[in-house]
Amino acid sequence: MRSFNPPGPNASRSYGKPGHPVQRYRWAIIALACFGIVATVLTARAAERPVRIVVLGDSLSAGFGLAAQDALPAKLERALKQKGIAVTIENAGVSGDTAAGGLARLDWSVGEGTDAVILELGANDALRGADPKATRAALEAIITRLKGRRIAVLLAGMLAPRNFGADYVKAFDAIYPELAVAHDLILYPFILEGVAGDGTLNQSDGLHPTAAGVDVMVKAMLPQAEELIARVKGRTANTGG
């Protein structure tokens, strides 16, 4: 029987010879595979990166009269994490702040790398009987600048005190739903829903929620917060970064 002798090292044909089409094809396959692995890893890391949210607000989010861990941003972050959502929420609430005050400090309160903002301003405007047109203008300026930075917004609404008269109440209460529609925002209609007017959920001043009151606020706002995060993730997926 004739034996088969493999070609020697100097044979003219060799699949392992540098520059041979088959060898180049093999390296191309390896390169593509490596690229795919790297792309998968980068995509996974992007998915794991916590969504960074800033709550731009007044004393209702700052946590007036409460320990830091009982303030709205901290409790909302914990509630989202308990649902397995990777998120960090920064408290940029300033007691006594107005919509105009939030606009004035917007750039340093909402830093680079912010994915979304929960905009909770206007309570002090309403309590002081501020012109609804001025409040609307300040809130709209904040929204416009955030959208220009590609930051998603959840607008937390406020209602005017009912003893200010029907005309004022009508003008002020319309600010938030109208801005939400005009700018395609997620709206939580009333930040104090289920808490306002309940003595068991408010501090002695009757204006600021207790820790238990914040729990009620967080539970009620959770669906909108999840929608905000989904919007951020959807935007990131569509842009690839």
Q: Which of 59, 97, 115, 173 is catalytic?
A: 59
3 is catalytic: no
Q: Which of 14, 131, 208, 215 is catalytic?
A: 208
Q: What is the dihedral of CA 200, 201, 202, 206, to 10 degrees?
A: -60
109 is catalytic: no
Which residue, 199, 202, 175, 201, is CA-closest to 189? 175
Q: What values do phi and psi take at 220, rounded to 5? A: -75, -35
Q: Please name the residues in contact with 26: beta carbons below 8 A apart, sequence gap of 6 or more.
A: none
Distance CA 32, CA 146 (A): 39
Long-range own/partner contacts, residues 209-213 (CB < 8 A, 24 or more apart): 209/60, 210/66, 211/66, 211/67, 211/70
DSSP structure class, residue 202:
B
Phi-psi region of 169 (alpha: psi -120 to 50; beta: other; left: phi over 0): alpha
Q: Which of 3, 184, 204, 205 is catalytic?
A: 205
205 is catalytic: yes
Catalytic residues: 59, 205, 208
